[in-house]
Copies of this chain bind each other. A is one copy, B any other.
């Protein structure tokens, strides 16, 4: 009896050994060698618990124990971001697209990238190009899938964010013998605040910032002595409206900033087909810190001048960024963008609805009016989901709306940055849940106070 039990144990034990052996020596053929350390480091950092109100990063400041510390949301503090900071202003300024961070945490396994120490050390890729051909192909596929831009027969160039591309495009378009210098750079107000800084900063003889296009419309169409570059932002930043150019004729060049022309923020009624269109990774995947943008260009000469500008300005752009952008876009395209765009759209539409509900209870404030529109990408009605709320102070005396908000603990960007009155303020809907929830909370207090005051 004893012996047969021993025998049975022995057989089971041998079988278990066989399983373990198989597991360790056969299945472990794919075991990691030189990547293990970096993978372990990444997982260790990711496992640091920041209470859902912060993140630890590989290159963060180190604690005394030598581990990266939690970097907290703006209004949270303490070593694990568990403490709410009192009287902390709700940040609704800037365009940091942090609302997409949860999407990438959900897709951790597919979106990680391991870069070897010898990855693409050269200045160039194959054929002396500064661009990853695979990334160009992925971007073409992305636009085809989303249906938001025509890339067929056009050139693609990359830049250090759309910021650099805007600048490169101003040079490329203005450096044209048919245009008198300096070329006037204009945009319809309210316009993105950076254009003015771009237009004036570098003190070039080629072009000059002239502000609101409305002031120039009649002159430009009848004049041969003045030439123009009109920047058309569609959807517009700050008010999210889809836009068309105002200027036309042989001395007007149009540059389209399509940063927000993605299903997160806008219905996609048709593919954009401008001669020079600029997009940025920042607003599709949320990776603002990667500094990656691309331009789609019809004219070969303009393309060549942009390439030359980018070559002299920065000699191409980060190869680390290019390989990561490729991996991120692969994740997006795995299901034709479905999960990313649905996540983004639902998040922003939901935020907009909440904000609207609060503001509509007020007589002191109003928001831009946006209508539902059919979206070719979702093949459905797209409810408004703007990247920014364009808030107006309705009361005659509130000429400086940002000050009214500041007093209520909300920091936004004032209207004059966008070429209009300070009666307007831009509030972002793109930041983290922490920041947005605080904004809602502060707005509720502000509007409640108004209701109490008026009763």
Q: Which residues of A contact B (CB under 8 A)?
A: 3, 6-7, 9-10, 13-14, 16-17, 20-21, 23-24, 30, 32-43, 46, 55, 57-62, 71, 94-98, 100-101, 104-105, 107-124, 126, 132-135, 160-161, 163-164, 167, 171, 194, 197-198, 201-206, 282, 286-292, 308-309, 312-324, 326-328, 331
Contacts and interface: CB of A to CB of B under 8 A. Distances in A.
Contact of A163 (B60, B71, B314, B318): B314
Total identical chains: 2
Q: Which 6 interchain pairs have the tightest Cβ spacing?
A: A111-B117, A20-B20, A104-B117, A320-B320, A289-B319, A10-B10
Contact of A39 (B36, B100, B197): B36
Contacts of A34: 43, 46, 108-109, 112
A323 B204 contact: no
Given A201-B309, A314-B160, A98 B121 contact: yes
Given A164-B314, A314-B164, A113 B115 contact: yes
Contacts of A33: 43, 109
Contact of A318 (B39, B95, B291): B291
A30 to B, nearest CB: 6
Given A10-B10, A38-B113, A59-B323, 16 more contacts: A3-B3, A32-B39, A34-B112, A35-B112, A57-B119, A98-B121, A100-B121, A104-B118, A108-B117, A113-B115, A114-B115, A123-B289, A160-B318, A161-B314, A164-B313, A320-B321
Nearest to A58: B323
